[in-house]
Amino acid sequence: MEQRLREALSRRQKRYIIEAKLVPSAVLVPIYYKEGEYHILFTKRTGWVKKHKGQISFPGGAQQEGDKTLIDTALRECAEEIGLAPGEVKPLGELDDTLTETSNYVISPFVALIPYPYQFRVDGGEVEEIIEVPVSALLDEKCLRQVTAIIGGQAVASYFYNYQERLIWGATARILHQFLDIFTRVMGD
């Protein structure tokens, strides 16, 4: 699976969003194999962070001056938020840049394999908890609700994933939807 997913991500044309007013940021889409199936790791943000309070997201954040690349940003943020050492991460490729609707971030998502089991360390400042979700649960049709709205004359899809009373929505859901589409094609090959 690792090689097929790496190849699928490298063959596709990434969609970049470059706009001076937006804040560059990056997230890791961390996947791992546990108990016979693949899982994705999410974080729940604390109620006292400045933006996106209490939301479920991928680990990551805004690019800082010391970050040479956006993958460096994603790895630094993972180390800070959940204690995942950058040397333990196997990057597989990138997904399309995604905008946040309310906070002016442009997010570059990086898909990566991470080890399991792993001794994560939740920072408590930005992240309240780690949430492990089996990919099979996210692919269950009862988990996904899609809403399409017309914005500026164009149809825009919004996705809502509900897993054990936890709602994944917004930019995280758009990134997740793209990943799951690629994952199912790779696993179906």
pLDDT tens-digit map of 110-119:
999 999 999 9
Quick one: average pLDDT of 94-114?
92
- Residue corresponding to tokens 């930005």: 126
| Cβ contact 111:92 at 8 Å | yes
pLDDT of 121: 95
Higher pLDDT, 178 or 189: 178
Quick one: average pLDDT of 56-76?
96
CA atoms within 13 A on the CB side of 141: 0
pLDDT of 155: 77
pLDDT tens-digit map of 127-178:
899 999 999 999 999 999 999 877 667 777 899 999 999 999 989 999 999 9
Both structure tokens of 162: 């509900």
Average pLDDT, the chain: 91
pLDDT of 4: 94
In 3D space, the residue among 142, 171, 147, 144 whose CA is nearest the CA of residue 158 turns out to be 147
Residues 6+ apart with CB under 8 A from 13: none
Domains detected in the chain? 2-139 (3.90.79.10)
pLDDT band at 53 (very low <50, low <70, confident <90, very high): low
Task: State residue 158 phi and psi, 5-degree precision.
Answer: -120, 140
